[in-house]
Amino acid sequence: MGESPPDKVTTTAGRLEQCGAAADTLGPFSAWSPGKVYTHMAHPVWFNGSLRSDEECMVHVRSHALHYGSAVFEGVRAYATPDGTQLFRLRDHLERLFWSASLYRIPVPYSREELHAACHEAVAASGLESAYLRPIVSRGDCGLGVIPAKMDVVDVAILVTNWGAYLGEEGREKGIRACITSWQRPAPNTIPPGAKAAGNYLSSQLIGLEARERGFDEGIALGTDGLLSEGAGENIFIAQDGVLYTPPVSSSILGGITRNTAIQLAADLDIPVREQALAREQIYQADEMFFTGTAVEITPVRQVDHLPIGGGEKGPLTSRLQDAFFGLFEGRTQDRWSWLEPVRR
Ligand SMILES: Cc1ncc(COP(=O)(O)O)c(C=O)c1O
């Protein structure tokens, strides 16, 4: 006979407390409660072909993705606009998802069109007016070997939740404080930073955790060549003398879809943009700096390593780009690129 089950379920935090590990293990994070940073709402999940409740979405404890990080995913936003809920650049995100999967030889068991329809279905079922979607393709129970014994055991899920400003409303308005971390981004010939694979986010976690432990809002990493790469989950832009600069895709970055949006909006606003390798000190000389990303949208950076960027507040080019970006969803910027598509209810 096995052990009798515990009479009540204990949370991870509770167990850590019981064994006295919380303070040592969590450091400054021991005071955090998940509710402070992330509000979870159980919306139906599109899982392997149909909408299901959380309890019905079973991923095996032997799943390859859990052991080896072999999942690829996307983060996509849907915005509440004057014309109803609209998905932003969904087709571009799906294109990157399929490309990331192909790099790791993960066969996606659905077509682009099927996943496109599934994203619409999942947002509509959530009833949310604005939403964050997380499509994820992960290797399942395909053997414990690093090289999967069965290549075609793959789960696909699309989670939908509400997610506000990633680094806070105030940060998005007034700017955040960042630092350059001691952790560097993986070199391009190690694991490809341009693919959005789950395993890559161990690097992002080290960068983001170190920054928060040191009291900053977010961390920025250099590449192994010593040049600027990107934030834990964001691309970087700096502005100097009216020109925007951003590291190229060869600088160990994820080629962000929001980065591309900012480049195209800047062209529309006659703001020159140069994709070029950047040295760390160029940050401290910059007039302005901002992050781009689906989670962070366009967020000004007002300070790096305790040094103010420009005047230490959101700069004029950042304001113009933010205005054009959020104008897409508020009806002020014409969507000439067909980036938005109404959710089919
Ligand atoms: C490491 C990293 N860089 C950049 C980005 C920005 O990419 P995107 O604008 O496509 O969301 C993200 C966001 O997912 C990211 O995780």
**pLDDT single digits (tens) 112-136:** 999 999 999 999 999 999 999 999 9
The conformation of residue 58, written as its DSSP 8-state character, comes to: -
Whether residues 188 and 324 fall in one domain: yes
Return the CATH number at 116: 3.30.470.10
The predicted model gives 247-270 an average pLDDT of 98
Q: How far is the CA of 293 from the centre of ligand 1 (A)?
A: 5
Tally of CA atoms within 13 A in the half-sphere of 254 that contains its CB: 29
pTM reported for the whole predicted model: 0.92
**Nearest by Cα to 122 from 42, 17, 191:** 42
Both 225 and 149 in one domain: the answer is: no
Predicted local distance difference test score (pLDDT) of residue 42: 85
Confidence of residue 23 (pLDDT cuts 50, 70, 90): low
| Residue with CA at minimum distance from ligand 1 atom 5 | 234
228 located within any domain: yes
Long-range contacts of 112-120 (CB under 8 A, 24+ apart): 115/156, 115/158, 116/90, 116/91, 118/46, 118/158, 119/46, 119/76, 119/87, 119/90, 119/94, 119/158, 120/87, 120/343, 120/344
100 Cβ closer than 6 Å to some ligand 1 atom: no
Atom 1 of ligand 1: nearest residue by CA position:
233
Given 123, 138, 161, the domain boundary residue is 161
Q: What is the CATH number of the domain that holds 227?
A: 3.20.10.10
Could you tell me if 211 and 146 lie in one domain? no
Q: Could you tell which of 133, 234, 249 is best to mutate to test the pocket of ligand 1, judged by most ligand atoms within 8 Å of the CB?
A: 234
Q: Which ligand 1 atom sits nearest the alpha carbon of residue 258?
A: 9
Residue nearest to atom 8 of ligand 1 (CA): 256
CA distances from 163 to 21, 75, 217 (A): 30, 11, 17
Residue 279, in any domain of the structure: yes
3-state secondary structure 84-118: EEEEECHHHHHHHHHHHHHHCCCCCCCCHHHHHHH
Tell me if 235 CB under 6 Å of ligand 1: yes
Is there a domain that residue 8 lies in? Answer: no
> Based on the structure, what is the number of domains in the chain?
2
| Mean pLDDT, residues 269-276 | 98
Is residue 150 flagged as an active site residue?
no
248 and 283 co-located in one domain: yes
Structure tokens at 207: 């960068």
**Residues 135 and 247 placed together within one structural domain of the fold:** no
Query: What's the CA-to-centroid distance between 102 and ligand 1, angstroms?
Result: 19
Residues 182 and 271 in one domain: yes
Single out the residue in 161, 184, 218 at which a domain terminates. 161
Burial class (CB in 10 A: 0-12, 13-18, 19+), 6: exposed
- Whether 293 is in the pocket of ligand 1, judged by its Cβ within 6 Å, is yes
Taking the centre of ligand 1 as the mean of its atom positions, its distance from the CA of residue 230, in whole angstroms, is: 9
Among protein residues, the one with the nearest Cα to ligand 1's atom 16 is 233
Averaged confidence pLDDT in the chain: 92
Give pLDDT tens digits for 138-177.
Answer: 999 999 999 999 999 999 999 999 999 999 999 999 999 9
Confidence of residue 28 (pLDDT cuts 50, 70, 90): low
| Nearest residue to 295 via CA among 70, 69, 74, 36 | 74
- Residue 343 tokens read as 């959710």
Question: Ligand 1 atom 7: the closest Cα is on which residue?
Answer: 256
Our mutation pick for probing the ligand 1 site, out of 206, 236, 254, counting the most ligand atoms within 8 A of Cβ, is 254
> In this structure, are 92 and 57 located in the same domain?
yes
Average pLDDT over residues 294-322: 98
Residue 195 clears pLDDT 90, i.e. is over it: yes
Is 301 a domain residue?
A: yes
Q: Structural domain of residue 265, as residue ranges?
A: 169-330
The answer to whether the CB of 256 is under 6 A from ligand 1 is: yes
Tell me whether residue 185 is exposed, middle or buried, using C-beta atoms within 10 angstroms of its C-beta: 0 to 12, 13 to 18, 19 or more.
Answer: buried
Classify residue 9: in a domain, yes or no: no
Question: How far, in Å, is the centroid of ligand 1 from the Cα of 168?
Answer: 17
* Distance separating the N- and C-terminal Cα atoms of the chain: 52
Selecting among 8, 36, 196, 314, the annotated active-site residue is 196
Domain boundary among 109, 129, 161: 161
The answer to whether residue 268 sits within a structural domain is yes
* Residue 16 within any structural domain of the chain: no
Going by C-alpha positions, the residue among 73, 70, 141 that lies closest to residue 104 is 70
Residues 173 and 317 in one domain: yes
Same domain, yes or no: 234 and 181:
yes
Residue 31: pLDDT over 60: no
Measured from the Cα of 253, ligand 1's closest atom is 3
For residue 234, the tally of other CB atoms under 10 A from its CB is: 31
Residue entry with tokens 């955790």: 209
Is residue 53 located within the same domain as residue 195? Answer: no
> Is the predicted pLDDT of residue 14 greater than 60, yes or no?
no
Considering the domain architecture, whether residues 192 and 143 belong to the same structural domain is answered as: no
| 10 found inside a domain | no
Q: Which of 183, 294, 297, 321 to mutate to test the pocket of ligand 1 (most atoms within 8 A of CB)?
A: 294
Nearest CA to ligand 1 atom 12: 233
176 and 127 in a common domain? no
Lowest mean pLDDT among 7-11, 158-162, 232-236: 7-11
Q: Is the CB of 230 under 6 A from ligand 1?
A: yes
pLDDT reported for residue 113: 98
Q: How far, in Å, from the CA of 196 to the mean position of ligand 1?
A: 8
